[in-house]
Structure 1
Amino acid sequence: MNIVFMGTPEYATDILSEILKADIKVVGVFTQPDKPVGRKQVLTPPHIKTFLNENYKDIPVFQPINLKEQETHEQIRSLEPDFIVVAAYGQILPKAILDIAPCINLHASILPKYRGASPIQSALLVGETTTGITAMLMDEGLDTGAILAFAYTNCEDKTSGELFDELGKIAGELIVDVLQNFPTITPQPQDDTQATICKKIKKQSGLFSFDEDASQIYNKFRAYTPWPGIFLESGLKILSLKPLQMSGKSGEILEISKDGFVVACKSGALQILSLQEPSKKAVNATAYLNGKRLGIGDRIS
């Protein structure tokens, strides 16, 4: 069995690692081009390329700018794949590639819910208690292909960063099972009437206000950790918090302890444990209050 793998971030690396452990032959990996990163714009390879360069130098890596060029189609065809496995690649596969071999996508939601670019964050934002991975046969639509298999996990009190790590390993186990049992699987069409679409996360998505419900803010915090995080209009970033059943005026400090301070929201309250002002180092919540000379009854903005 020959596999062409397409993926870019650590989530994809975790999946590829499980495929390689199963002794399935990977004849080529396609990933995004190296990109400038950070203030100094250092040209940095994708996570999966670094992983391969350090552990599997014999597997060829391809980094086309896009997948529309005939040359790219011929590269894939020349590898003679039995399957093309896709996980967080970052580009839509054109029909010319879909026609080369069965293309299996590992989408980080239970489809048809949360089709699109941010399934993990979107599930956390609305307070889902369960999410998972869908293995599906790809077609020309956006995550609309027939379903091959599911794998589920609990997502209560987890951040998107934690879920990415967990789901990468789950997806790796799932795709190995799907590949090994593909001839016996009957693809099931999705129920489009139950479909929801999620969009790409932007930095501004992390903006919040204490005029929101505490549960809503907590879900934002989980969805946007580690990126882009959650922050107030002033740019004050909340790094660690816990939801509490307390009440008061939105933004008002209700309680102070050695661990942090409690701020009232529109409904409920949040215990703030650590935070960070723009262009400053992260500090624990008590140190922040002392530096600002704030106490019970004062407002955080």
Structure 2
Amino acid sequence: MGCALRATEPAVLLQQDPLGRPQPAGPRPHDVAGVRRLGAEAQGRLDRRPERVPATRDRRLCAGWTFQNNAWGYGGSYSDKWYVTIDADPVVEALEWVHKGVQDDTWAGVAATKVADLSSGAVSSTGNLAGSLAGILKAASFDVGVGFLPGGPAATKPVCPFGGAGLAIPKDITPEEQLAAASFLTFLTQPDNAVTFSAATGCIPTRTSADVSALVATAPQIQTAIDQIAVVRTQDYARALPPGGDKVIADGFGRVLTKNEDANPVHAEVKAQLTDICTTDVTPHLL
């Protein structure tokens, strides 16, 4: 048995008013073209690269997680349940679009330090997890805006992957230990404690009964992440469940974005690796 400890989702984090003009209230922009347009305009006005795409060289930054936004926006997915589809044309096209933004049009870039890059003002926007929000707000010397993840040419919603971390009670420990663990889980996930955890991390409270009014009053940006829950989508099996699946995806994407390798054969290799992991380490143990 287990419970959710934290809920988080990617969002667009940006310097407020990077172009020196009034900004509309609420999430923005909602489409890929809008993100690219703002990036190009900012590049022409600022002496810095305006956008950082999901980092692919550091698996701790969940590149495979955040890129699902792009894949879904193009009408693809990493998998159909346990059948891996990451080599399908829409997913390849999505990565080729990111590659073009990084290598050809240069309005975007690959970074392993997205939080530090945005907090220091080195870039004007990035796509990152809501769980990074508290650290960014603390480190940034400017106002930070938050927007929904944009859609793509094939889909505008739901294109935000949802996830987080959890705590579980092992079945093979003693009944006394299980009771103690359950008591701790009860304490940790009480509505007030869920809000306390959210305030310290930026993750979304896992209890719908939690009163977030004080949290939002202190950090209004988190309201956007809470609102985005209405349009989230469960992650694809191929990324979320196979052991090491995110690293396999991130390493493959990194080869395309930083080494200019052709996307089609790389995606085929990634599919083969994910399929092998699923066949060997996952499906034999499913009930």
- TM bucket (normalised to shorter chain) is under 0.3
Q: What TM-score, normalized by structure 1, do the two folds share?
A: 0.24
Name whichever structure is richer in helix by fraction: 2
**TM-score relative to the length of structure 2:** 0.25
Higher Cα radius of gyration: 1
- Higher relative contact order, chain-length normalized (CA < 8 Å, sep 6+): 2
Higher strand share: 1
